[in-house]
Amino acid sequence: MTDSQQTRGVGAAARITALASSVMDLHVRIALQEMDREKRRLISGGVFLAMGGVLMLFALLATEVFGVIWMQRYLNWTLEWSLIIVSLINITLAGLSLRIGGKLVKGPYLPETLEGLSKTTKAVFGKS
């Protein structure tokens, strides 16, 4: 390999690195702009979601207490069996929720970022 070929290879790597860096800067800038525009809506939405989640947790706990009391009175189950049944129901629902939530969370979030990546990929590989 001659010196000119090595220099060309280093220059190409530097150009690709610079291109990747500028693309990442662009995507970060777009994300920050979206965040600035939507900051108030996101913060107030988060507060209301947290408040609703806490209230739902209290309602769930109250429902479970009533369920355990009902199991003891009308099904004549011991406290231990009632708690085991409620725990198994909770574990099953938690597993289903985590599975469904994990599938829903996957995927692209910012359309502008995907658009920019698509354009960059086409530019790098020379496709129109």
pLDDT tens for the chain, residues 1 to 128: 555 555 565 676 777 787 778 888 888 888 777 777 777 777 888 899 999 999 999 999 999 999 999 999 999 999 999 999 999 999 999 999 999 988 876 766 577 767 777 777 777 677 75
Best CA proximity match to 99, nearest among 111, 87, 91? 91
Residue keyed to tokens 């739902």? 56
Query: Around Cβ 81, how many Cβ atoms within 10 Å?
Result: 14
Q: State which residues form the domain around 67.
A: 3-125
Number of domains in the chain: 1
C-alpha separations of 28 from 3, 76, 105 in Å:
37, 61, 20
- C-alpha to C-alpha distance for 71 and 92, rounded to whole angstroms: 19
- C-alpha to C-alpha distance for 43 and 41, rounded to whole angstroms: 6
- Predicted pLDDT of residue 77: 93
List the structure tokens of 14: 């530097």
Give the 3-state secondary structure of residue 128: coil
- Predicted pLDDT of residue 121: 73
- C-alpha to C-alpha distance for 103 and 108, rounded to whole angstroms: 12
Chain centre to alpha carbon of residue 3: 48
